[in-house]
Chains A and B, each alone.
Chain A
Amino acid sequence: MRYSWLTGLMALLMLSPVHAEQSAPVDVSIPVLVPITGFLSLEGTSQRNGAVLAIRNAPPNLRVQYDVVDTGVSPEGAVNALERALDRGSVTAVVASMLGTQMLAMLPIVLERKVPLVTVSGTAQITEMGNPYVFRFFPGDDVTKVAHVRYAVEELGLRRLALVYQTTAYGQSGRRHIVENLAKHGLAPVFEEALEVQVRDMLPVLSKAKAANPDGILIHLHSGPTALFIRQAAAMGVGIPIVAGSAMHQPPTAALLEPEELRGVCAEANASPVSGGTPEMERFLQQYRETFGVEPDGFALGQYDGTMMVLEAVSKGARTPAEVARALAGMRYDGVAMTYKSDGRGNMAHSAVIMCFDGRTRVPKVVKRYDNITGALTP
């Protein structure tokens, strides 16, 4: 009789909610749908690494399942990957491609299925469509281009700026914001030209830019073209400051150039993990290197912070995808790169840094930090 009473008490304890919260881990499913092949594979791989590292660092009360799926670079590839992931079962949130065209294709699906997408896509349009399920953890051009232009104009004192950008959506968006921000300073580019990603020789565009007699050059190009441009500028002895877009902060871009070629080149980004600077950043840097054997960039860090924020939301009680979306929309989160908070449209990142190369190493130094550019962090 006493035995059965004890057994009953134990069973009751095991079933109680308190016990369940303390010992039974919460199941979380976060598919990672990123472009690992195609022209954005470098950035997509960083995205994957950041997400995977965050999942490995998940709070102990969570049991996270994830699959990494290569979306390629076509919208249909991303849509198929998303639909397969959502059809497979309960999904908490999705780490979604940083490619704007893929994000735009995925948005209607998550609006219908009410599942949050967490991304580092820079395409402004994705958070301009009133979709409450998209969260961007990389500062958009409305943030980074403010830093880009302010540093060139306010810190370097440049007035006659040439602008070279990519013909892709990324390039066009950056160009628009750069021109708008220059106009706020009463300036306009003295020269501008768009380049296709396949362009190999930068001599023509550099010659034309130089002929316009600029005192500085702003570039907004992908990784390879950025390195080609800077190498050719160094070979030509252009001799004026170059302030580059975020591709220049990626260690593989710097690895293509000799330190001397990088002398005087600056770039904007959300962060420069390889530059270290804070204990949290140093820890992230060390763990990333140990796990993946490569150097992290700002995309990896942004995706890491975004995924960690999702995990924290679940850890604090959000269970359904809709609850996670609500938590992301309302929470303030201190990540490794910066403090994140939604501006009401899913833009979570509001800070940018400027880093510069000294010509001796390929590791840049952060020289200027621009926080809370949009004002969204102001209480």
Chain B
Amino acid sequence: MLTLQLLVNGVALGAAYALCALGFVLVLNATGAVNFAQGDMVMAGGFVAIGLANLWPVPGLVLLPAVVLLTGLLGLAFSAIGYFPLKSRPPVSVFISTIALGVIFQNVAMVTFGPEPRATPPLLAAGNIDVGGLTIGIQAIAVVAIAALLVAGQHVLLMRTRLGQSLRATAQDREMAAALGIRVNLMIALTFALAAALAGVAGLLLANTYFITPTDGTNYILKAYIAATIGGWGRLHGAIAGAMLIAVFEIMFPALPLLVPFLPAAIHGMFSQTSASIVLYVALLAVLFLRPQGLFGEIAQRRA
């Protein structure tokens, strides 16, 4: 029963990580640049939701479209300030500009909302439901459902629509896409908007259960980066799988002494949430050494 409980928590956390990682990979593919502000976009989404909830105290699900819209607009502005003026410069310029914009986001959130942790309203309602002895948060179910819908929607958008074809063409080869008449800059701007909207939703989802502070973005970008590396640099489904693996690992590893009865008591102390971080980063190094293309293979041409 505990295994299932941990798995449910891991999947809910992983679903939100996946939205952040997806946006990270979308921008990576479209521009070849690592957007280090993607975690701060998650934070921004959380605070946008909190700001909206202060004005209009309704469930998070009602706020969701507004969060998507506002963070999408933020993504457009982000591309206009942080990417387009620097796109012909060396990649490190964009890399630095995303860090700078992330710090600006943090400080704007700090000045506007203060430093204290805050929570977004629940998507539907607070509380838990009991399913055969398994306590599942209503928010956790809603998070998984919303994330699954968004991932599916994003898949349909990219694979089944003309806009998606243009976005993919831009991601695969910008020069060729331009030669074919695709408005590459518009596609890149839309990619930033989509990535920011996904991160914004992740912020709305995560901040109810895990709260949000202006400096939380750093943690989320690390998770997105690791997910993209483990899943395969540039692979969308790899990023989702990577995010899920990270979240489930983070939650299951410290509980191994309870899950694996034959583990000697003398080594129980080795299984903590702190050691989980160490093992996670060791695994990341192992992937980089042994399978640098990630679990699903690498498609991005350039690694930052």
Q: Which residues of A contact B (CB under 8 A)?
A: 36-39, 41-42, 44-45, 167, 193-196, 198-201, 203-205, 207-208, 211, 223-224, 227-228, 235-236, 250, 252-253, 255-256, 258, 294
Contact = CB atoms under 8 A, between A and B. Distances in A.
A235 B138 CA distance: 11
A195 B250 CA distance: 12
A198 B273 CA distance: 10
B13 A201 contact: yes
B273 A193 contact: yes
B88 interface: no
B9 A201 contact: yes
B51 interface: no
Nearest to B2: A207
Interface of B: 2, 5-6, 9-10, 13, 106-107, 110, 114-119, 126, 128, 135, 137, 206, 209-211, 213-215, 219, 250-255, 257-258, 272-274, 277
12 contacts: A36-B115, A37-B110, A42-B115, A44-B115, A195-B274, A200-B13, A200-B206, A204-B6, A204-B252, A227-B117, A227-B211, A235-B135
A248 to B, nearest CB: 13
Contact of B210 (A203, A228, A250, A294): A228
A193 B272 contact: yes
Given A167-B274, A208-B257, A235-B137, A223 B116 contact: yes
Nearest to A231: B209
Given A41-B214, A201-B13, A294 B114 contact: yes
Nearest to A294: B114
A207 B271 CA distance: 13
B272 A201 contact: no
A204 B115 contact: no
A207 B10 CA distance: 15
Contacts of B116: 42, 223, 250, 252, 255
A204 B126 CA distance: 21
A247 to B, nearest CB: 10
Q: Could you say which of B114, B126, B128 has the most chain A C-beta atoms within 10 Å of its C-beta?
A: B114
Contacts of B5: 203
Contacts of B2: 207
A45 B255 contact: no
A208 B215 contact: no
Given A45-B115, A195-B274, A252-B116, A211 B126 contact: no
Contact of B117 (A38, A195, A224): A224
A259 B271 CA distance: 33
A195 to B, nearest CB: 5
A346 B268 CA distance: 41
Given A45-B114, A200-B250, A203-B251, 7 more contacts: A37-B215, A201-B9, A204-B255, A205-B254, A224-B211, A235-B137, A252-B116
Nearest to B135: A235
Contacts of A198: 219, 277
A258 B115 CA distance: 20
Contacts, number: 97
B211 A199 contact: no
A196 B277 contact: yes
Q: Could you say which of B115, B213, B272, B274 has the most chain A C-beta atoms within 10 Å of its C-beta?
A: B115
A195 B273 contact: yes
B106 A203 contact: no
B117 A252 contact: yes
A116 B3 CA distance: 55
A26 B137 CA distance: 60
B211 A228 contact: yes
Nearest to A210: B258
A211 B258 contact: yes
B145 to A, nearest CB: 19
A41 to B, nearest CB: 3
Nearest to A73: B215
Nearest to A37: B110
A256 B258 contact: no
A44 B118 CA distance: 17
A201 B114 contact: no
A253 B114 CA distance: 13
Nearest to B103: A37
A208 B114 CA distance: 35
Contacts of B137: 235
B282 to A, nearest CB: 16
Given A37-B110, A252-B117, A235 B128 contact: yes
Contact of A208 (B107, B135, B252, B258): B258
A68 to B, nearest CB: 13
Q: Could you say which of B117, B211, B254 has the most chain A C-beta atoms within 10 Å of its C-beta?
A: B117
Contacts of A201: 9-10, 13, 210, 250-251
B255 A199 contact: no
A42 B254 CA distance: 29
Contact of B273 (A36, A204, A223, A253): A204
